[in-house]
Structure 1
Amino acid sequence: MKPKYLLLSSTVLLAACQSTSQTSTSNEMIEQVYAIEQQSAQRLAESSLQLAQKFESYCVKQADKREVEEQWQQTMHSWMALQGQERGPEAALALNWNIQFWPDKKNTTGRKMSQLLQQDLSWNSQLIQQQSVTTQGLGAVEWLLFDQSSTLPQPEACQLGNAITRNLALNTQKIEQAWQVNPWSEFDQTMWLNEYIALLANQLDYSMKKLSRPLAKIGQPRPYFAESWRSEKSLTWLKYNVEAMRTLYIANGVGLDNYLRKQGHAELADRINDHFDSTLASWPASSSLFAALQTKSGYQDTLSLYNKLEYLKYLIHEEVAIELNIVIGFNATDGD
């Protein structure tokens, strides 16, 4: 009988060791992904505060407008790491529309901003908070900086811009504060894998919408549906989206890439990693999706880029989910 007891004890010990190892791996992934998200929120808050300061300096001291434009671009760059995500602190996710209103199908931002400029009000952040989200975020600042209808640096436009950028800084500070607590600290491995893959899949879905909307029907593009068409930076922001997703996927060497390899799926991990790299390496030279969609070749290049993202979605949404027995649910962009 003793050999049976020894065998049973060895089996229990092995199971315990495997469970401890899985928990350790899961905790390490959670901590690294959380650290990336927290740092992204911090960069966004710092960048938007600088945007508010530089906007005010531009208006008060008549400083170089290009400095404000560059700071707006840096703030957009920071936002791309969090844009489209549907996993994380609820307090942070609830502010997504306030940070950026998109898609703007009917030029609501342009119409609302023109209306605000015509109102005889002394604008401040409190008044802006009472307005539509279309006039609260980065798109509204873009309109002030790049739209031909903007009256910058006239006093009324400066006052409105100062109010918007200050309110934006307040909202991004709230996002940073929300990320001070790890929302996944109590997740077990199964819960975490579902959350992690959904985090990537949802952000990828959102990024693909940034191409599919302006591509519209073949031969009938809608370039004004492109994100940031006024500043001609649509493709630049999308590249930052993909770079941010790759960072989350790798997670400093302990992310999903590493986990797939440990589970015996190195070939799948290689395909995902290689596809990230090849997609970024072959990125279109132009930063303007609006301009690209004006030509047949530009449309074809954009469609090719969309297909690359669609394959990446297949790898994560289908192959990874199947191999790890994960079910990815619907998200806010489905059917939109």
Structure 2
Amino acid sequence: MKMRMRNVLPVLLAMLVAACSDPRQEVTEQLTNQVLLPAHEKWHGSNAALLVATEGFCAGELDVSALEQAFYRTLQQWSYLQPLMIGPMAEGNRSWQVQFWPDKRNMVARQVEDLLAAASPLSQEALEGASVVVQGLSAFEYVVFDEAVDLTSQGDRYCPLLTGIARHQQALSGEVLSLWAGSEGMTVMLTAFPNARFASADEALGSILRTQITAVDVLKKKLGVPMGRLNQGVAQPWQAEAWRSQHSAGNLQASLSGAQAVWERVRSLVASADLVTRIDAAYQDTGKKLAALPAPLVTLVQEPEQQSQLQSLYDSLDNLETLQQVELARDLGIQIGFNANDGD
């Protein structure tokens, strides 16, 4: 009898564990450990590499193409991170320190030149006390890619700024990573409930989805603004994100990949197989349309014959957002709530 009970107990224990398991908590843990935290770590790593490349360029050890490639990698990691910015990165004005967009009045160029005119050579202390407009990747992009800047002959003027920005970015991403660690860090808040942020895995999952869906809406804005959707159909090419480096479409692709990484973990929770199929197809359709863009966005929005292709991409993003904001939220029973970008 004792032997039989000994054999039965592990089975009962396994059944009890299975009965108590929470699929939503499991998915939230997967998102935290496999998507959110690794994205922040890779972003921090790209900032470290950007600093190395910047110092190498300013020391005459690397050419400008190496600096450009390091910038592209950092920009891509930052774009991938944007649909995943739950917690520390979305607080304390931190995201503005990384990228200033939209720049409707060419503030980046004007403030960079004003700062350098007022403090030359520029010190790290002066940069840290300056506007967020000059502390991030938008200012870095201006210096490296703008036709008005001759970086080769004016390295002494601009290198202190480039190095200062790279140091600021590395420090910022390091600070954010530290807020994910420890007994009260974001990792614990997303995996052990209840806590000071979330009462349950449902609340945490809802917050992750709100962040991701808002980011998809921002993708629409990043496409729609240069298309002229907010300007009576008049194209605004200089409002394209990263127009100087002609990397706007690449940013959109990276952000879409970040959003899709969330969906790939959440899809197992969806009751409707039809909805899963439609959201899968929506991601595939949007990805294909982005990859098919024949030229940089700053160029395409100025070509009337490309408007139908851009409109098709915009409609695809709109469909993807609606599927998630309305139908996915309904299927999961999660209240997405007000979108901060509604009305833009």
Q: How would you bin the TM-score normalised by the shorter chain?
A: 0.7 to 0.9
How big is the shift at 1:17? 8.1
Aligned to 2:268: 258
Alpha carbons 1:84, 1:206 under 8 Å: kept? no
How big is the shift at 1:131? 0.7
How big is the shift at 1:110? 1.1
1:202-235 deviation digits (Å, cap 9, x = unpaired): 1111111101211224641111111000011111
How big is the shift at 1:92? 5.8
Alpha carbons 1:235, 1:286 under 8 Å: kept? no
| 1:194 alignment partner, one of 192, 197, 206 | 206
1:178 corresponds to which letter in structure 2?
Answer: L
Provide the C-alpha distance between the structure 2 equivalents of 1:102 and 1:199, rounded to a whole number of angstroms. 18
What is the percent sequence identity of the aligned residues?
27
Provide the C-alpha distance between the structure 2 equivalents of 1:72 and 1:94, rounded to a whole number of angstroms. 22
| 2:247 alignment partner, one of 226, 233, 238 | 233
Provide the C-alpha distance between the structure 2 equivalents of 1:64 and 1:111, rounded to a whole number of angstroms. 26
Alpha carbons 2:243, 2:297 under 8 Å: kept? yes
2:77 partner SS: helix
**Is residue 2:104 matched to residue 1:105?**
yes
1:171-226 deviation digits (Å, cap 9, x = unpaired): 11112222333132224243134223212211111111101211224641111111
| 1:268 alignment partner, one of 265, 275, 286 | 275
| 1:297 alignment partner, one of 297, 305, 314 | 305
1:254-302 deviation digits (Å, cap 9, x = unpaired): x211111xx3x11101110121112212323335110001111222211
1:285 partner SS: coil
Structure 2-normalised TM-score?
0.84
How many residues align? The count is 312
Alpha carbons 1:144, 1:152 under 8 Å: kept? yes
Aligned to 1:7: none
Aligned to 1:3: none
* 1:103–1:297 CA distance, 2 compared to 1 (3 A): same
* 1:31–1:233 CA distance, 2 compared to 1 (3 A): same
Alpha carbons 1:86, 1:93 under 8 Å: kept? no
Provide the C-alpha distance between the structure 2 equivalents of 1:308 and 1:112, rounded to a whole number of angstroms. 36
1:173 corresponds to which letter in structure 2?
Answer: G
Provide the C-alpha distance between the structure 1 equivalents of 2:119 and 2:205, rounded to a whole number of angstroms. 53
* 1:287–1:177 CA distance, 2 compared to 1 (3 A): farther
Give me the CA root mean square deviation: 2.1
Structure 1-normalised TM-score?
0.86
State how 1:1-336 maps to structure 2 within 5 Å.
Answer: 20-21=20-21, 23=22, 25-35=23-33, 36-61=35-60, 63-83=62-82, 87-89=86-88, 94-153=93-152, 154=154, 155-180=156-181, 181=185, 182=187, 183-185=189-191, 186=193, 187=198, 188-217=200-229, 219-250=233-264, 255-260=265-270, 263=271, 265-283=272-290, 284-286=292-294, 288-336=296-344
Structure 2: tracts of 5 or more residues without a match: 1-15
How big is the shift at 1:90? 6.0
Structure 1: tracts of 5 or more residues without a match: 1-15
Provide the C-alpha distance between the structure 1 equivalents of 2:160 and 2:20, rounded to a whole number of angstroms. 58
Provide the C-alpha distance between the structure 2 equivalents of 1:110 and 1:304, rounded to a whole number of angstroms. 33
2:167 corresponds to which letter in structure 1?
Answer: R
Alpha carbons 1:98, 1:136 under 8 Å: kept? yes
Aligned to 2:7: none
* 1:68–1:222 CA distance, 2 compared to 1 (3 A): same
* 1:276–1:233 CA distance, 2 compared to 1 (3 A): same
Alpha carbons 1:26, 1:192 under 8 Å: kept? no
Provide the C-alpha distance between the structure 2 equivalents of 1:219 and 1:231, rounded to a whole number of angstroms. 24
How big is the shift at 1:330? 2.2
1:26 corresponds to which letter in structure 2?
Answer: R
* Higher mean C-alpha displacement, 36-45 vs 76-85: 76-85
How big is the shift at 1:318? 0.7
* 1:33–1:237 CA distance, 2 compared to 1 (3 A): same
* 1:287–1:239 CA distance, 2 compared to 1 (3 A): farther
